[in-house]
């Protein structure tokens, strides 16, 4: 920490700051400049609320030097963390795609979607049972019934699933069913929820808050690691800016910043990040090219009738195209993705025919 | 709702959108323009996720016409709502100031602060027992012990208090002690917490999320009103922007926008809104001049030793000055504030001497 | 300047940074911390592009300590600068209001507006002859004809005027007519224009860029002062944020930040700052309460037919109300404004009748 | 255009809006809803300042339907525009990389850089002779001497060059030397400069303003096309947001939005877009994956001694790596880039040895 004194700070003021720093357990090193004096404070800033020193007479500002996070930091652990969701490793050489509808609406809707995304190469299913909605008049999710549907679809398709938990009280219930818990953007700084979810020991998918700095996001992950659970996947999903052509502004530089500072894996959600299905495929490619470890993509069998986030949901056929294009980019950056064949350009969309047959079987059963 | 068709949309596409609108219970009114066709849809948009229509062939975009909120709207109730916290009315002619430390640190700290702010004219005490902190290594609050201290200080000073609740599980406990529950900025879209807090019937102080539009904020309030509890006070506390000279950017135009669209009272928190005690007094004056119904201000007897938000906390003497200056501005806009005498310019700071005596009494007792 | 070294920086890397600093004329003071070494560099950072040092091996980041501006700084000149436009002092105890239409459309339009704003208490006329318009298809201004109209209206009403200059080539022409030159928000970092306008010696009204930090704004003013012209008035006019309920977000804390760091006067433009005439009056009051030295307000005799910025233009009667309310707030903060009588509440709108008579006289002449 | 009336708007108010619309040359189609009436206005909004209608009694808001731009629009021209700079086509299948130092500092510095970037595969040289600098105390460029150096380096290396023009007065001079003119982010809405630069008929590289919406950016391009010059290349270079880990937030979704709405080519500047050389390579890959037609990259032979933008400049060896990685991604998205061999993974960095030899030759000459 560096304490910057005001231009006219007196000797007494400087001495008082030094004394106060020593009281707080720091060693104080003043440097007397031509216009200003700065005081280097050696010690561990994390232990105290040292920004309050700015109130001492003659102090202009406090400049922190150490990063405020520890456990998530590459300075502590310099090898990439690999998180496993139902056996699928995230953070290694393979790109992992998690896909599914915004909200679980019915068993049929989810089953059709799950088969479609699986055949296209997705390895993890996503779907909301508890939905945070801006308006109280919007569909709020099927709740426990939604979790049961997710579990049945997992049983049939073999896809592990991630689903959001909104409330500390629901954590045990959701953890009973889900392979991984999602903390949504609006709950990124719901610190109680972070602790409670972390304590389950389940993998946590931590979305970036829509006005959260990368540092705040890593500190939110630090809350989870601090419970003893290192299984955190970060998910960039767009931040709020002045631009209105897209719903949010996807911050792909965040991938590079996270990779420089943390050992945690990071994936990208181009569906929320753009809010418009037309932009999902190019931004998915860009995310992988920038170094993301995976994607979270919204897919709906009939987007025009989706109860939630229809405008940004991909039709299964577009999702297949996404998987093929992502696989090509993955290879170009030295990684592999399940959606494409191993041959460099010979990727061929998997069968929508197969998906339709599957869907008909399900309808017959119902 | 208006459906805007793409320039080359075919007759069939237009007909299909009209059919779909009729299915959803709307009446469709197409208008054929020179370059584009638009379709007016008459009916209640709130009932359905109509934005999914954008996925129909030939549709360019959906333009909502109706406001998405109802209960908080001036269209529903055209007289100002007056909320009472421990008998103090907020939203009427009087400006109400809520003041106190960021966090309850000890009974002495709170008692001294409470007497100081009361003597300066504050009518409601604020203080955090449960603290949402960006870092897991920061002081997290005294929790129930903090609530007990708040209750004892209320008993002695007569000041009702507002305190934050972070977790649905704590709502009954906090509601047992507090006169009003605060929903913090980071929880503005914690919809479960909104519902649970609303259901207590207690007044709710709803802070604006740091990336929340005014419309989203009113929709968050709508969640509370939807529980049958109309006692909501909105609190503007600054939004995230690119400017770093202040911690947040206080959006005072939000007061005018809220007053135009809603019947709910609105107050301003210049402490969080600026993050720097030097800017709190001028922004407090500005908030009242813009039409705010009150203020929420952080005051600490020794800001340089505060465990939380020291840089933005006022020393009690500065707070007295704030109260005097706010009272003068209140009169200028046709309102009254407790801090100033009724004479236009004759305001005189109340006695810091009295506060010091009180503090000594408390120390002796301890 | 502080150079922060990476955690694992070697002795050689530290030594090399110190050598490089000495080469650049700094004295280097390394402080060896537990986790990181920081090197204090004593000297004048402004002289060189020292941020390039971040490329030296082992360097993590550079933290500037000195403010990058000098001439505009309070550290250099601790008394408020008073700028005079046609004899009207800005930056003293009196609040100065500059008002008029967005664009000069005709002599009649400007004459009627000028008389109206003068009778309401405005002391300076504003009006655009050269208009920066987002679309090439919008009205671009009357150019020199507009300047001539402004000059004739000044002659008749006695109001000095400020008008925008867009192009270095127009500076001599505009300076020949105008009492003060406005640099618009979109040109705040048009450094050539700043220099050219500054060199005229005329007072310069420097609007804040819509994505400019306060520091960048003061550096833009520094360009003007660096030409030897100290006559700069800063004008806050709203910044770009995610909020869409207003056209921009008026940053009133900027007033307090500017007053803390600079001796230059600052005024506020609530018309552009909100983009909606309904919000202009409360925000004008708030600006004065926050400490602004004046206002810039758009007024149009028939806003619904304005060729530019109609939605944010005040009708003359609303402007009269603004002047009265501003005068009351000015008194509350220890200042005076021309719009109100000296008695605290006895303000009475000046005669719209008189304005209408004047307008009829003008029509008869035309 | 749609005029939305307030909930309580009277028949007379609706009739008056219709009459006014007819006066303005629109046909008015009112639709009477349950809560609100909306009026569809058929005609060409671009002709008039119709937003002023919001001031008519009973009007709530105006919703534009047509895009405000025409010439840049895909609705007008549905095939991609290919712009040629010194014979190099931009906007076709090939990815074009423009590289060079932020500022031209000396002939040797530029010559070494030019050979280095050429050997790595760059096809166009960039370098600033006129520099827009935030501070008046920073290096402002070599001006005409810089242009001469650029011309000499072009002669020797065969690389055409693009350079920024800051002032309408300099347009003839810069156009005399340069193959393409750059309009910088801070001048994106310097409309006079747009017109003057456009009128030269030279290709224009138009950077996005740091707070400009995509729509405003396309309107700025419209100014240039309106001079009869269709040779515009858009350049995304990051927007201002709250995130401070990077200097700006690179908005890669802008590529997809531009490609959806315009026929103009778009390139990306990952150097300014991140402000940190460590993030340039991954973001360059991402830009190409997202669909960009090229890149603009800052390269300096000794970044730690650069007079401008050192922190974001690549060392030539890192630039070679960038070119190889970009070439692989280009192939993955069905395009080609000059930096890589045609074989999928066999790319090998071109010779830094060759560059060093070249540099020595130049030094010997000097």
Q: Determine the pLDDT at residue C359.
A: 58
Q: Residue B34: what pLDDT? A: 81
D135 forms beta bridges with none
The share of chain B scoring above pLDDT 70, in percent, equals 90
CB D282 within 8 A of CB A288: no
Chain A hits for B303, Cβ within 8 Å: 52, 55
Taking the CA atoms of B16, B22, B25 and B31 in sequence, report the sign of the dihedral they define: positive
Portion of chain C with pLDDT greater than 90, in percent: 75
More confident residue, C64 or A246: A246
> What is the pLDDT at residue D343?
36
Contacts with D52 from chain C: Cβ below 8 Å? 303-306, 310-311
Choose the most confident range, by mean pLDDT, from A1-5, A342-346, C267-271: C267-271
Radius of gyration of chain A (CA): 24
**Among chain B residues, CA nearest to C256:** B279
| A→C interface, C-beta within 8 Å | 2, 4, 7, 29, 31-36, 38, 40, 42-44, 63, 65-66, 75, 240-242, 244
pLDDT single digits (tens) B231-258: 999 999 999 999 999 999 999 999 999 9
Which residue is closest to D212 within chain A, CA to CA?
A: A243
Q: Which residue among C186, C223, C311 sits closest to D189, beta carbon to beta carbon?
A: C186
What's the pLDDT at B19? 92
- Share the mean pLDDT of chain C: 91
| pLDDT above 70 for B47 | no
C155 phi/psi in degrees, rounded to 5: -60, -45
- A238-242, A301-305, A345-349, B38-42 — which is least confidently predicted? A345-349
- The confidence score (pLDDT) of residue D212 equals 98
Q: What is the pLDDT of residue B351?
A: 45
Q: Between chains, do A34 and C40 touch, taking CB under 8 Å as contact?
A: no
- Between C257, C290, C344, which is nearest B344 by CB? C344
Q: Detail the DSSP E strand segments found in D79-141.
A: 83-85, 88-90, 94-100, 124-126
Residue B340 — very low, low, confident or very high, per pLDDT cuts 50/70/90?
very low
Asked whether the beta carbons of residue B223 and residue A52 sit closer than 8 angstroms, the reply is: no
**Residue with token string 């020949």:** C176
Please indicate whether, in this complex, the C-beta atoms of B42 and D31 are within 8 angstroms of each other.
yes
Q: Do residues B320 and B349 make contact, with C-beta atoms less than 8 angstroms apart?
A: yes
Q: Which residues of D touch C186 (CB under 8 A)?
A: 189-190, 209
Q: Which residues contact A357 (CB under 8 A, 6 or more apart)?
A: none
Contact A285, A313 (CB under 8 A): no
What's the Rg (C-alpha) of chain C?
Answer: 24
Give chain B positions within 8 Å (CB) of D63.
2, 63
Tens digits of residue pLDDT in D296-322? 999 999 998 888 888 999 999 999 999
What does the pLDDT read at residue C364? Answer: 60
Q: What is the pLDDT of residue B309?
A: 85
What value, to the nearest 5°, has the Cα angle with vertex B47 and ends A142 and B223? 70
Find where tokens 């207590």 sit: B200
Q: Does residue C342 have a pLDDT over 70?
A: no
Among the residue ranges A51-65, B89-103, D213-227, D263-277, the one predicted with the least confidence is: A51-65
Rounded distance, CA B153 to CA B157, Å?
A: 6
Integer Cα distance of D132 and C190 in angstroms:
8
CA atoms within 13 A on the CB side of C196: 24
How far is Cα C308 from Cα C298, in angstroms, rounded to an integer? 10
Which of B214, B256, B332 has its CB closest to that of C331? B332
Instruction: Say which of A257, A286, A332 has its CB closest to residue D290.
Output: A286
Contact A240 C242 (CB under 8 A): yes
Nearest CA in chain A to B217: A134
pLDDT at residue B163, as a whole number: 98
Selected residue of A247, A253, A273 to mutate for chain D interface (largest D Cβ count, 10 A): A253
- The pLDDT confidence band at residue D173, using thresholds 50, 70 and 90, is very high
| pLDDT value at B346 more than 50 | no
Q: Which of A162-171, D278-287, D348-357 is predicted with the least confidence, judged by mean pLDDT?
A: D348-357
A145 pLDDT exceeds 70? yes
D256-307 confidence digits (pLDDT tens) = 999 999 999 999 999 999 999 999 999 999 999 999 999 999 999 999 888 8
User: What residues of chain A lie within 8 A of the CB of C25, using their CB?
Assistant: none
Q: Which residue of A has its CA nearest to D284?
A: A290
- pLDDT above 50: residue D223: yes
Q: What is the pLDDT of residue D232?
A: 98
Q: How many residues does chain C have?
A: 366
Q: Which of D51, D68, D186 sits opposite C189 (nearest CB)?
A: D186
Give the CATH architecture of domain B2-63: 2-Layer Sandwich (3.30)
Which of A63, A284, A289 to probe the D interface (max D CBs under 10 A)? A289
Most confident of A55-59, A150-154, D71-75: A150-154
Q: Which of B33, B240, B246, B247 to mutate to test the interface with D (most CBs of D within 10 A)?
A: B33
**Is the pLDDT score of B54 beyond 80?**
yes
Among chain D residues, CA nearest to C217: D134
**Is residue B348 over pLDDT 60?**
no
Asked if residue A342 has pLDDT above 80, the reply is no
Q: D176-189: per-residue pLDDT in tens?
A: 999 999 999 999 99
- What pLDDT sits at residue C43? 79
Note whether A38 contacts C38, CB cutoff 8 Å. no
Using 50, 70 and 90 to split pLDDT, how confident is the model at C64? confident
Domain segments of chain D as ranges: 2-63, 83-362
Task: Give the least confident one: A325-339, C177-191, D216-230.
Answer: A325-339
pLDDT of A234 reads 98
Looking at residue B252, its pLDDT comes to 98
Within 13 Å and on the Cβ side, how many CA atoms surround B256? 25
The alpha carbon of residue D193 is apart from the nearest alpha carbon of chain B, in Å, by 27
Q: What per-residue confidence (pLDDT) applies to C360?
A: 63
Q: Which pLDDT score, from 0 to 100, does residue B347 have?
A: 36
Which residues pair with residue A85 across a beta bridge? Answer: A88
Q: Which residue of C has its CA nearest to B212?
A: C243
Percent of chain A with pLDDT over 90: 75
Task: Please give the class, per CATH, of domain B83-362.
Answer: alpha beta
- ipTM of the modeled complex: 0.91
Structure tokens at B272: 């969080």
**Least confident window among A59-73, B238-252, C115-129, D147-161:** A59-73
Helix/strand/coil (H, E, C) string of chain B? CEEEECCCCCHHHHHHHHHHHHHCCCEEEEEECCCCEEEEEECCHHHCCHHHHHHCCCEEEEECCCCCCCCCECCCCCCCCCEEECCEEECCCEEEEEEECCECCCHHHHHHHHHHHHHHCCCEEECECCCCCCCCCCCCCCCHHHHHHHHHHHHHHCCCEEEECCCHHHHHHHHHHCCEEEECHHHCCCHHHHHHHHHCCCCEEEECCCCCCHHHHHHHHHHHHCCCCCCEEEEECCECCCCCCCCCECECHHHHHHHHHECCCEEECHHHHHCCHHHHHHHHHHHHHHCCCEEEEEECCCHHHCCCCHHHCECHHHHHHHHHHHHHHHHHCCCEECCCCCCCCCCCCCCHHHHHHHHHHHHHHC
What is the band of C44 on the pLDDT scale with cuts at 50, 70, 90?
low
- pLDDT at residue B18, as a whole number: 93
Smallest CA–CA separation between D69 and chain C, in Å?
8
Other CB atoms within a 10 A radius of the CB of residue D10 amount to 12
Residue D275 tokens, joined: 């402000």
Cβ contact (<8 Å) for A43 and C34?
yes
Mean pLDDT, chain A, rounded, equals: 91
Question: Does position B55 have pLDDT exceeding 90, yes or no?
Answer: no
Longest dimension (CA), chain B: 86
The pLDDT of A20-26, averaged and rounded, is 88
Q: How many CB pairs under 8 A join C and D?
A: 132
Per DSSP, the three-state class of C305 is helix
Is 70 exceeded by the pLDDT of residue D101? yes
Helix or strand holding residue A62 (H, E): strand A59-63
Nearest CB to A306 within list B52, B191, B313: B52
Helix (H) or strand (E) holding A235: strand A232-236
| Separation CA A177–CA C45 (nearest Å) | 59
Question: Stretch A50-67: mean pLDDT, rounded?
Answer: 87
Range in A38-47, A121-130, A133-142, B86-95 with the lowest mean pLDDT:
A38-47
Measured CA distances, C236 to C94, C260, D187 (Å): 18, 15, 20
pLDDT at B356: 58
CA distance C193 to chain D (A): 8
Rounded to an integer, the average pLDDT of C280-288 is 98
Give chain A positions within 8 Å (CB) of D273.
253
> Using N-to-C axis directions, what is the helix angle for A214-225 and A191-199, rounded to 10°?
40
Which of C190, C246, C272 to mutate to test binding with chain D, by most D CBs within 10 Å of its CB? C190
Residues A82 and A89: beta-carbon distance below 8 Å: yes
Confidence at A152, pLDDT banded by 50, 70, 90 = very high
**What is the average pLDDT score of chain D?**
91
Would you say D347 and D322 are in contact if contact means Cβ atoms under 8 Å apart?
Answer: no
Instruction: Please give the residue that has the higher pLDDT: either A282 or C353.
Output: A282
Tokens of D263: 């026929």
Q: What is the pLDDT of residues D21-44, one digit of tens each?
A: 998 888 999 999 888 899 988 876
3-state secondary structure of D146: helix
pLDDT of residue A49: 60
Question: Is residue A26 scored above 50 in pLDDT?
Answer: yes
Task: Write out pLDDT tens, residues D103-131.
Answer: 999 999 999 999 999 999 999 999 999 99
């Amino acid at each position: 920490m560096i304490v910057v004194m005001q231009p006219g700070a007196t000797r007494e003021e400087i001495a008082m700051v030094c004394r106060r720093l020593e009281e707080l357990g720091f060693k104080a090193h003043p440097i007397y400049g031509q216009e200003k004096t700065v005081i280097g404070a050696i010690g561990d800033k994390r232990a105290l609320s040292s920004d309050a020193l700015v109130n001492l007479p003659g102090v202009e500002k406090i400049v922190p030097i150490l990063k405020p996070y520890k456990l998530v930091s590459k300075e502590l652990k310099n090898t990439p963390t690999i998180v496993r969701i139902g056996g699928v490793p995230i953070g290694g050489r393979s790109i992992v795609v998690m896909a599914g509808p915004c909200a679980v609406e019915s068993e049929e809707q989810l089953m059709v979607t799950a088969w479609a995304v699986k055949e296209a190469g997705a390895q993890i299913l996503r779907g909301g049972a508890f939905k945070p909605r801006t308006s109280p008049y919007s569909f709020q999710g099927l709740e426990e019934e939604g979790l049961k549907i997710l579990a049945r679809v997992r049983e049939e398709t073999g896809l592990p699933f991630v689903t959001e938990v909104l409330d500390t009280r629901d954590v045990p219930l959701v953890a009973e069913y889900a392979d991984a818990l999602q903390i949504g953007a609006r709950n990124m700084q719901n610190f109680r929820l972070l602790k409670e979810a972390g304590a389950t020991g389940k993998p946590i998918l931590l979305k970036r808050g829509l006005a959260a700095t990368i540092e705040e996001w890593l500190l939110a992950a630090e809350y989870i690691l601090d419970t003893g659970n290192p299984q955190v996947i970060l998910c960039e999903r767009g931040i709020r800016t002045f631009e209105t052509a897209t719903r949010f502004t996807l911050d792909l530089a965040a991938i590079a910043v996270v990779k420089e500072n943390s050992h945690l894996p990071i994936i990208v959600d181009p569906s929320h990040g753009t809010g418009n299905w037309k932009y999902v495929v190019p931004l998915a490619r860009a995310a992988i090219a920038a170094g993301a470890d995976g994607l979270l993509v919204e897919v709906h069998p009939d987007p025009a009738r989706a109860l939630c986030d229809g405008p940004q949901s991909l039709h299964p056929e577009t999702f297949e195209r996404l998987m093929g294009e992502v696989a090509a980019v993955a290879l170009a950056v030295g990684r592999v993705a399940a959606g494409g064949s191993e041959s460099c350009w010979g990727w061929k969309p998997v069968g929508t025919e197969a998906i339709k047959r599957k869907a008909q079987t399900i309808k017959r059963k119902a």
